[in-house]
Amino acid sequence: MQLNENETVAKSRNKILAQVIQVFSNHNLLPWLICAAIFLIMGLISPSMFSGYSIASILSTATPGILMSAGEIIVMIAGSIDLSLAASVGFSSVLAAGLMEKMGLPIPLAIIIVLLAGALIGLINGLIVGKGKLQSFIVTLGSSVVLRGITLVYSAGTSIPLAQTGQTFIKISTYQLLGLPLYFWVGLVLIILTSFYILKTKYGRHLYALGGSELAARVAGLRADSLRIKAFTLAGFFSALSGLTLLAKFGSGWPQAASGWEMDGIAASVLGGANFAGGVGLPLGAIPGSIVLDLILRFLVTLGIDPYWQYAAKGIFVIIIALSLARGEYGR
Protein backbone atom coordinates (compact mmCIF):
# COMPACT_ATOMS: atom_id res chain seq x y z
CA MET A 1 0.00 0.00 0.00
CA GLN A 2 2.65 2.47 1.08
CA LEU A 3 4.74 1.73 -1.98
CA ASN A 4 1.84 2.42 -4.31
CA GLU A 5 1.15 5.70 -2.59
CA ASN A 6 4.76 6.77 -2.95
CA GLU A 7 4.80 5.84 -6.58
CA THR A 8 1.68 7.78 -7.43
CA VAL A 9 2.98 10.78 -5.52
CA ALA A 10 6.27 10.64 -7.38
CA LYS A 11 4.51 10.34 -10.71
CA SER A 12 1.89 12.99 -10.19
CA ARG A 13 4.20 15.79 -9.11
CA ASN A 14 6.88 17.20 -11.27
CA LYS A 15 10.45 16.08 -10.91
CA ILE A 16 11.99 19.29 -9.63
CA LEU A 17 9.44 19.57 -6.87
CA ALA A 18 10.10 15.96 -5.90
CA GLN A 19 13.81 16.72 -5.71
CA VAL A 20 13.21 19.81 -3.58
CA ILE A 21 11.09 17.70 -1.27
CA GLN A 22 13.93 15.21 -1.09
CA VAL A 23 16.34 18.00 -0.14
CA PHE A 24 14.08 19.09 2.69
CA SER A 25 13.11 15.55 3.61
CA ASN A 26 12.82 14.35 7.16
CA HIS A 27 15.26 16.05 9.39
CA ASN A 28 16.49 18.68 6.96
CA LEU A 29 13.07 20.29 6.80
CA LEU A 30 12.53 20.74 10.50
CA PRO A 31 15.11 23.54 11.03
CA TRP A 32 13.41 25.61 8.35
CA LEU A 33 10.02 25.10 9.95
CA ILE A 34 11.32 26.08 13.36
CA CYS A 35 13.03 29.12 11.88
CA ALA A 36 9.86 30.20 10.11
CA ALA A 37 7.75 29.63 13.22
CA ILE A 38 10.04 31.70 15.43
CA PHE A 39 10.15 34.43 12.80
CA LEU A 40 6.35 34.50 12.64
CA ILE A 41 5.93 34.60 16.40
CA MET A 42 8.41 37.44 16.72
CA GLY A 43 6.81 39.27 13.84
CA LEU A 44 3.44 39.07 15.55
CA ILE A 45 4.94 40.55 18.71
CA SER A 46 6.79 43.31 16.86
CA PRO A 47 5.41 43.70 13.32
CA SER A 48 8.41 45.78 12.21
CA MET A 49 10.16 42.41 11.97
CA PHE A 50 8.34 41.77 8.68
CA SER A 51 9.74 44.87 6.98
CA GLY A 52 12.10 44.37 4.08
CA TYR A 53 14.76 46.34 5.91
CA SER A 54 14.53 44.12 8.96
CA ILE A 55 14.69 40.90 6.94
CA ALA A 56 17.68 42.16 4.97
CA SER A 57 19.39 43.13 8.20
CA ILE A 58 18.77 39.68 9.71
CA LEU A 59 20.17 37.92 6.64
CA SER A 60 23.27 40.06 6.24
CA THR A 61 24.06 40.03 9.97
CA ALA A 62 23.79 36.26 10.04
CA THR A 63 25.93 35.64 6.93
CA PRO A 64 29.36 35.17 8.60
CA GLY A 65 27.81 32.81 11.14
CA ILE A 66 25.95 30.93 8.43
CA LEU A 67 29.14 30.36 6.42
CA MET A 68 31.08 29.14 9.42
CA SER A 69 28.27 26.82 10.52
CA ALA A 70 27.97 25.43 6.98
CA GLY A 71 31.60 24.32 7.38
CA GLU A 72 30.91 22.94 10.83
CA ILE A 73 27.98 20.90 9.52
CA ILE A 74 30.19 19.28 6.85
CA VAL A 75 32.63 18.19 9.55
CA MET A 76 29.79 17.02 11.79
CA ILE A 77 28.31 14.91 8.99
CA ALA A 78 31.63 13.05 9.00
CA GLY A 79 31.19 12.46 12.74
CA SER A 80 33.89 14.91 13.83
CA ILE A 81 33.83 18.39 15.32
CA ASP A 82 35.93 21.45 14.46
CA LEU A 83 36.47 23.92 17.31
CA SER A 84 39.06 25.90 15.37
CA LEU A 85 36.66 27.36 12.81
CA ALA A 86 35.96 30.50 14.84
CA ALA A 87 39.69 31.15 15.27
CA SER A 88 40.09 30.53 11.56
CA VAL A 89 37.40 33.14 10.85
CA GLY A 90 39.28 35.69 12.97
CA PHE A 91 42.60 34.76 11.37
CA SER A 92 41.17 35.06 7.85
CA SER A 93 39.72 38.50 8.42
CA VAL A 94 43.01 39.79 9.86
CA LEU A 95 45.04 38.10 7.11
CA ALA A 96 42.82 39.60 4.41
CA ALA A 97 43.08 43.07 5.94
CA GLY A 98 46.85 42.70 6.21
CA LEU A 99 47.28 41.51 2.63
CA MET A 100 45.22 44.40 1.28
CA GLU A 101 46.43 47.20 3.53
CA LYS A 102 49.93 46.33 4.68
CA MET A 103 51.10 44.55 1.52
CA GLY A 104 48.83 46.32 -0.95
CA LEU A 105 48.00 43.16 -2.85
CA PRO A 106 45.23 43.41 -5.45
CA ILE A 107 41.85 42.35 -4.07
CA PRO A 108 41.31 39.15 -6.12
CA LEU A 109 44.78 37.88 -5.20
CA ALA A 110 44.22 38.66 -1.51
CA ILE A 111 40.91 36.83 -1.55
CA ILE A 112 42.42 33.78 -3.23
CA ILE A 113 45.28 33.66 -0.75
CA VAL A 114 42.90 33.95 2.21
CA LEU A 115 40.62 31.19 0.89
CA LEU A 116 43.59 28.92 0.23
CA ALA A 117 45.00 29.65 3.68
CA GLY A 118 41.66 28.72 5.24
CA ALA A 119 41.51 25.51 3.25
CA LEU A 120 45.11 24.76 4.24
CA ILE A 121 44.29 25.20 7.93
CA GLY A 122 41.42 22.77 7.47
CA LEU A 123 43.66 20.37 5.59
CA ILE A 124 46.22 20.40 8.42
CA ASN A 125 43.48 19.81 11.00
CA GLY A 126 42.15 16.95 8.91
CA LEU A 127 45.58 15.41 8.43
CA ILE A 128 46.33 15.47 12.15
CA VAL A 129 42.91 14.00 13.03
CA GLY A 130 42.90 11.45 10.21
CA LYS A 131 46.48 10.28 10.04
CA GLY A 132 47.20 10.74 13.74
CA LYS A 133 43.99 8.88 14.65
CA LEU A 134 43.21 11.54 17.21
CA GLN A 135 39.96 13.00 18.44
CA SER A 136 38.95 16.04 16.45
CA PHE A 137 37.69 17.81 19.56
CA ILE A 138 41.09 18.01 21.21
CA VAL A 139 43.08 18.53 17.99
CA THR A 140 40.97 21.48 16.87
CA LEU A 141 40.84 22.89 20.40
CA GLY A 142 44.63 23.01 20.20
CA SER A 143 44.79 24.39 16.69
CA SER A 144 42.28 27.11 17.57
CA VAL A 145 44.61 28.38 20.28
CA VAL A 146 47.54 28.20 17.85
CA LEU A 147 45.55 30.19 15.26
CA ARG A 148 44.55 32.87 17.76
CA GLY A 149 48.23 33.18 18.66
CA ILE A 150 49.34 33.48 15.04
CA THR A 151 46.60 36.05 14.46
CA LEU A 152 47.90 38.17 17.35
CA VAL A 153 51.47 37.89 16.06
CA TYR A 154 50.48 38.82 12.52
CA SER A 155 48.39 41.82 13.59
CA ALA A 156 50.74 42.80 16.43
CA GLY A 157 47.66 42.70 18.62
CA THR A 158 45.88 45.65 17.05
CA SER A 159 43.17 45.80 14.45
CA ILE A 160 44.00 46.56 10.82
CA PRO A 161 41.50 49.07 9.42
CA LEU A 162 40.67 49.00 5.73
CA ALA A 163 41.73 52.39 4.36
CA GLN A 164 42.91 52.21 0.74
CA THR A 165 42.61 48.96 -1.26
CA GLY A 166 40.31 47.73 1.44
CA GLN A 167 37.74 50.42 0.79
CA THR A 168 37.25 49.08 -2.74
CA PHE A 169 36.90 45.59 -1.23
CA ILE A 170 34.17 46.85 1.09
CA LYS A 171 32.45 48.65 -1.77
CA ILE A 172 32.40 45.57 -3.99
CA SER A 173 31.46 43.03 -1.36
CA THR A 174 28.65 45.11 0.13
CA TYR A 175 27.26 46.04 -3.31
CA GLN A 176 23.50 45.82 -2.88
CA LEU A 177 21.70 43.26 -4.99
CA LEU A 178 17.95 42.90 -4.41
CA GLY A 179 18.47 44.72 -1.14
CA LEU A 180 21.16 42.39 0.12
CA PRO A 181 24.96 42.68 0.02
CA LEU A 182 26.93 40.78 -2.60
CA TYR A 183 28.72 38.69 0.05
CA PHE A 184 25.37 37.25 1.13
CA TRP A 185 24.62 36.09 -2.41
CA VAL A 186 28.09 34.63 -2.92
CA GLY A 187 27.79 32.76 0.36
CA LEU A 188 24.29 31.53 -0.48
CA VAL A 189 25.32 30.24 -3.90
CA LEU A 190 28.35 28.42 -2.47
CA ILE A 191 26.31 26.82 0.31
CA ILE A 192 23.66 25.67 -2.15
CA LEU A 193 26.32 24.26 -4.49
CA THR A 194 28.09 22.48 -1.64
CA SER A 195 24.83 21.05 -0.33
CA PHE A 196 23.95 19.85 -3.79
CA TYR A 197 27.41 18.31 -4.11
CA ILE A 198 27.13 16.53 -0.77
CA LEU A 199 23.63 15.30 -1.53
CA LYS A 200 24.26 14.16 -5.06
CA THR A 201 27.77 12.78 -5.32
CA LYS A 202 29.56 9.66 -4.23
CA TYR A 203 31.75 11.83 -2.00
CA GLY A 204 28.70 13.05 -0.10
CA ARG A 205 27.23 9.58 0.25
CA HIS A 206 30.50 8.26 1.56
CA LEU A 207 30.73 11.16 4.01
CA TYR A 208 27.33 10.27 5.47
CA ALA A 209 28.43 6.64 5.63
CA LEU A 210 31.59 7.60 7.50
CA GLY A 211 29.58 9.61 10.02
CA GLY A 212 27.09 6.77 10.42
CA SER A 213 29.68 4.12 11.18
CA GLU A 214 33.39 4.56 10.70
CA LEU A 215 34.09 0.86 11.17
CA ALA A 216 31.49 -0.19 8.60
CA ALA A 217 32.87 2.43 6.21
CA ARG A 218 36.36 1.00 6.58
CA VAL A 219 35.17 -2.58 6.15
CA ALA A 220 33.34 -1.51 2.99
CA GLY A 221 36.69 -0.21 1.73
CA LEU A 222 35.95 3.51 1.92
CA ARG A 223 38.94 5.77 2.46
CA ALA A 224 37.82 7.12 5.81
CA ASP A 225 40.86 9.34 6.36
CA SER A 226 40.79 11.10 3.03
CA LEU A 227 37.01 11.61 3.27
CA ARG A 228 37.47 13.26 6.64
CA ILE A 229 40.43 15.35 5.51
CA LYS A 230 38.37 16.68 2.62
CA ALA A 231 35.54 17.59 5.01
CA PHE A 232 37.91 19.55 7.25
CA THR A 233 39.39 21.28 4.19
CA LEU A 234 35.94 22.35 3.01
CA ALA A 235 35.15 23.61 6.50
CA GLY A 236 38.39 25.63 6.49
CA PHE A 237 37.43 27.13 3.17
CA PHE A 238 34.02 28.17 4.48
CA SER A 239 35.47 29.74 7.61
CA ALA A 240 37.88 31.77 5.46
CA LEU A 241 34.89 32.95 3.44
CA SER A 242 33.17 33.79 6.72
CA GLY A 243 36.26 35.82 7.74
CA LEU A 244 36.11 37.79 4.50
CA THR A 245 32.42 38.66 4.99
CA LEU A 246 33.15 39.69 8.56
CA LEU A 247 35.89 41.99 7.29
CA ALA A 248 33.53 43.49 4.70
CA LYS A 249 30.91 44.13 7.40
CA PHE A 250 33.18 45.71 9.98
CA GLY A 251 35.70 47.36 7.70
CA SER A 252 38.56 46.34 9.91
CA GLY A 253 40.56 43.17 10.59
CA TRP A 254 40.29 42.67 14.32
CA PRO A 255 42.34 39.89 15.97
CA GLN A 256 39.58 39.03 18.45
CA ALA A 257 36.95 38.80 15.72
CA ALA A 258 34.64 35.83 16.02
CA SER A 259 35.90 34.97 19.48
CA GLY A 260 33.33 32.90 21.31
CA TRP A 261 31.80 31.79 18.04
CA GLU A 262 32.90 28.21 18.57
CA MET A 263 29.83 27.39 20.62
CA ASP A 264 27.50 29.50 18.48
CA GLY A 265 28.71 27.63 15.42
CA ILE A 266 28.02 24.27 16.98
CA ALA A 267 24.65 25.40 18.35
CA ALA A 268 23.67 26.72 14.91
CA SER A 269 24.78 23.45 13.31
CA VAL A 270 22.69 21.37 15.69
CA LEU A 271 19.73 23.72 15.23
CA GLY A 272 20.37 23.32 11.52
CA GLY A 273 19.98 19.55 11.60
CA ALA A 274 23.45 18.16 12.27
CA ASN A 275 24.21 16.11 15.35
CA PHE A 276 27.18 14.95 17.36
CA ALA A 277 26.72 11.32 16.42
CA GLY A 278 27.37 12.23 12.79
CA GLY A 279 25.86 10.98 9.57
CA VAL A 280 23.06 13.56 9.30
CA GLY A 281 22.63 17.18 8.29
CA LEU A 282 23.16 19.38 5.25
CA PRO A 283 25.21 22.60 4.93
CA LEU A 284 22.03 24.37 3.85
CA GLY A 285 20.75 23.84 7.41
CA ALA A 286 23.29 26.42 8.59
CA ILE A 287 20.97 29.11 7.24
CA PRO A 288 17.94 28.43 9.46
CA GLY A 289 20.25 27.34 12.29
CA SER A 290 22.20 30.58 12.39
CA ILE A 291 19.16 32.76 11.77
CA VAL A 292 17.34 31.18 14.70
CA LEU A 293 20.29 31.99 16.97
CA ASP A 294 20.29 35.56 15.66
CA LEU A 295 16.52 35.90 16.04
CA ILE A 296 16.65 34.76 19.63
CA LEU A 297 19.14 37.50 20.45
CA ARG A 298 17.09 40.15 18.64
CA PHE A 299 13.99 38.98 20.43
CA LEU A 300 15.63 39.29 23.82
CA VAL A 301 16.79 42.78 22.93
CA THR A 302 13.29 43.85 21.83
CA LEU A 303 11.90 42.47 25.07
CA GLY A 304 14.35 44.76 26.84
CA ILE A 305 15.94 41.97 28.83
CA ASP A 306 19.03 42.84 30.86
CA PRO A 307 22.04 42.16 28.56
CA TYR A 308 23.64 39.97 31.23
CA TRP A 309 20.55 37.80 31.30
CA GLN A 310 20.51 37.57 27.52
CA TYR A 311 23.31 35.01 27.58
CA ALA A 312 21.46 32.68 29.90
CA ALA A 313 18.18 33.16 28.08
CA LYS A 314 19.82 32.40 24.72
CA GLY A 315 21.22 29.18 26.11
CA ILE A 316 17.81 28.13 27.39
CA PHE A 317 16.25 28.79 23.99
CA VAL A 318 18.94 26.71 22.29
CA ILE A 319 18.29 23.77 24.60
CA ILE A 320 14.52 24.01 24.07
CA ILE A 321 14.92 23.96 20.28
CA ALA A 322 17.45 21.14 20.42
CA LEU A 323 14.89 19.18 22.45
CA SER A 324 12.28 19.68 19.77
CA LEU A 325 14.75 18.42 17.18
CA ALA A 326 15.66 15.31 19.16
CA ARG A 327 14.50 12.10 17.58
CA GLY A 328 14.06 9.92 20.57
CA GLU A 329 17.65 8.73 20.56
CA TYR A 330 19.88 8.89 23.55
CA GLY A 331 21.97 12.02 23.96
CA ARG A 332 25.54 12.14 25.07
**Interface ranges with another protein (CB under 8 A):** 2-3, 6, 19, 22, 200-203, 205-206, 208-209, 211-213, 215-223, 277-280
Query: How far from the centroid of its chain's Cα atoms is residue 18's Cα?
Result: 26
In the complex, least distance from residue 329 CB atom to another protein, rounded to whole angstroms: 10
- By C-beta, is 102 or 200 nearer to another protein? 200
Looking at the DSSP bridge assignments, the partners of residue 253 are 160
- The C-alpha atoms of residue 256 and residue 117 are separated, in whole angstroms, by 18
| Angle CA 15–20–25, to nearest 5 | 120
Q: Radius of gyration (Cα) for the chain, nearest Å?
A: 20
- By C-beta, is 11 or 108 nearer to another protein? 11
Residue of 318, 317, 288 whose CA lies nearest to 30 = 288
In the complex, least distance from residue 221 CB atom to another protein, rounded to whole angstroms: 3
In the complex, least distance from residue 322 CB atom to another protein, rounded to whole angstroms: 18
- By C-beta, is 26 or 176 nearer to another protein? 26
- By C-beta, is 265 or 279 nearer to another protein? 279
Q: Give exposure, 213-231, as e/b (b: 16+ Cβ within 10 Å).
A: ebeebeeeebebbebbbbb
- By C-beta, is 4 or 48 nearer to another protein? 4
In the complex, least distance from residue 74 CB atom to another protein, rounded to whole angstroms: 16
Residue partners of 2: CB distance under 8 A and separation at least 6:
none
Pairing of strands 160-161, 176-177: unpaired
In the complex, least distance from residue 91 CB atom to another protein, rounded to whole angstroms: 32
- By C-beta, is 178 or 215 nearer to another protein? 215
In the complex, least distance from residue 119 CB atom to another protein, rounded to whole angstroms: 20
Q: CB of 268 within 8 A of CB of 289?
A: yes
- In sign, the C-alpha dihedral spanning 97, 103, 106, 109 is negative
In the complex, least distance from residue 201 CB atom to another protein, rounded to whole angstroms: 5
| Angle CA 314–319–325, to nearest 5 | 130
In the complex, least distance from residue 222 CB atom to another protein, rounded to whole angstroms: 7
- By C-beta, is 28 or 239 nearer to another protein? 28
- H or E element in which residue 202 lies: helix 202-212
| Angle CA 32–69–215, to nearest 5 | 100
- By C-beta, is 7 or 33 nearer to another protein? 7
| Angle CA 285–196–225, to nearest 5 | 85
